[in-house]
Amino acid sequence: MRYPTCFTPLFIAIAATIAPAAHADEPTKEGFVKGSSLNLNARNYYMNRNRLQKADDNIEWGQGFLGMFQSGYTEGTVRFGIDAHAMLGMKLDGGGGTDGSSILPISDGNGKAPGSFSTAGGTLKLRAFDTELKAGDLFLTNPVIAGGDTRMLPQTFRGISLSNHSFDGWLIEGGQASFTKPYNQSGHTRIGTSYGTLAEGDESQHLNWAGIAWSGVEGLSSSLYASELKDIWNQYYYDLDYTWQLNDLISLNPGLHFYHTQDTGDALLGDIDNNTYSAHLAVGIGSHSVTAAYQRVNGNTPFDYISQGDSVYLDNSQQYSDFNGPNERSWKLKYAYDFTGVGMPGLTSALSYSRGTVNLTKADPDSAGYSSWYSAEGRNAKHWERDIDLQYVVQSGQAKDLTVHLQWATNRGGNGYGAIDSDTDEYRVIIDYPVNVF
């Protein structure tokens, strides 16, 4: 089934839904200055990717700074405000053939990333009743367009967004983004995809999205989103998640995530008809939790999402691999422990093991964007990943909220999996120090 290539009717419906209602409650009125805030974050980031079948590793170390100013709103029925941010990234180590981990900008050809990179941006915002409009540089987080925040500096998007909270437990939102500022670059580019390869000169002009998220019952949440990455795909998402607290000690958390992706317009990446889902069940007992998850990709292309983004709301998306290959089936088992149970609040840990099977012979060797996934020897390609995660957040004192995050991933493949990736060990050390100036 081919879906419409334009979301105009959907945006009209949302606009009608969020029209200010006479009975809508006014948000708390704050002045432009009184409601303002300025927050700073210093992030020190070290990444080491040891690619076992390649001569060079990817090792980079950098220091990032992010400053975010958010104003309050002017008085009146229609209120105005501004947001602004500035970012600076500095290279502490990386180069001489070890660059390319994705922390620092891509090398200029001499094997060394630049010593620093920076960017700044602003947003004009408007609020009327329970509806907010933003235009400019946006920090977005939803299942179809989420800025990557897993590197030294965050990803942003340039465009407009509209959100509404008129009804308790409901979020209605939509928007359009035409450019993105990648997390390891200073300038803006058009929005691409993580796993597809566009021909030289091809690019998507914008991404439209709209969605509804609901959390009106305690422990239960659900959302429905749709997006159009112009001339590449239409993507649709649905999730359902429920946390059932049996008693003070035991909880159950089943959940489901589902994506459908279909090529649209000029189909710059070729034919796409992909259904991908994951389901999980987590059992919490005091400070312990165990999660089992199953994930399935139905389609001869990988499950794909926007470049550098975090819009992959699937259970088996891990530190290194997304387990998203053509027709891939994967499962995961995860154990997590909160050390609050032994009198060490702020310290948490997790250990997970994931395993997937991919049929690379199903990929189209003539695909415009995904031909590299084809391998005649990959009928029963397999890979597994082990992830260890340890994090500590300082609870009090001068260093309150300082976070130290250690991550280790081991990914191994066989039966032809090496056609698309190499065996890799990846280590990350991330230190965040946030400061609330006012």
Cα–Cα distance, 393 to 338 (Å, whole number): 12
pLDDT digits (tens, 9 = 90+) for 332-375: 999 999 999 999 999 999 999 999 999 999 999 999 999 999 99
Q: Which helix (H) or strand (E) holds 16?
A: helix 8-17
Q: Where are the domains of the chain?
A: 41-436
Task: Please tell me the predicted confidence (pLDDT) of residue 39.
Answer: 97
CATH number assigned to the domain covering 41-436: 2.40.160.10
Model pLDDT for residues 264-320, shown as the tens digit of each residue: 999 999 999 999 999 999 999 999 999 999 999 999 999 999 999 999 999 999 999
Q: What is the pTM assigned to this prediction?
A: 0.90
Please give the full DSSP string across 193-220, using - where no structure is assigned: BSS--PPTT-----EEEEEEEEEEETTE
Whole-number pLDDT of residue 27: 47
pLDDT digits (tens, 9 = 90+) for 140-174: 999 999 999 999 999 999 999 999 999 999 999 99
Mean pLDDT of the chain: 90
Alpha carbons 382 and 48: distance in angstroms, whole number: 24
Q: For Cα atoms 247, 289, 342, give the angle at the middle one, nearest 5 degrees.
A: 85
Confidence of residue 6 (pLDDT cuts 50, 70, 90): very low
- The strand pairing partners of 297, in sequence order, are 276
Q: Helix %, strand %, coil % for the chain, to 5? A: 5, 50, 45
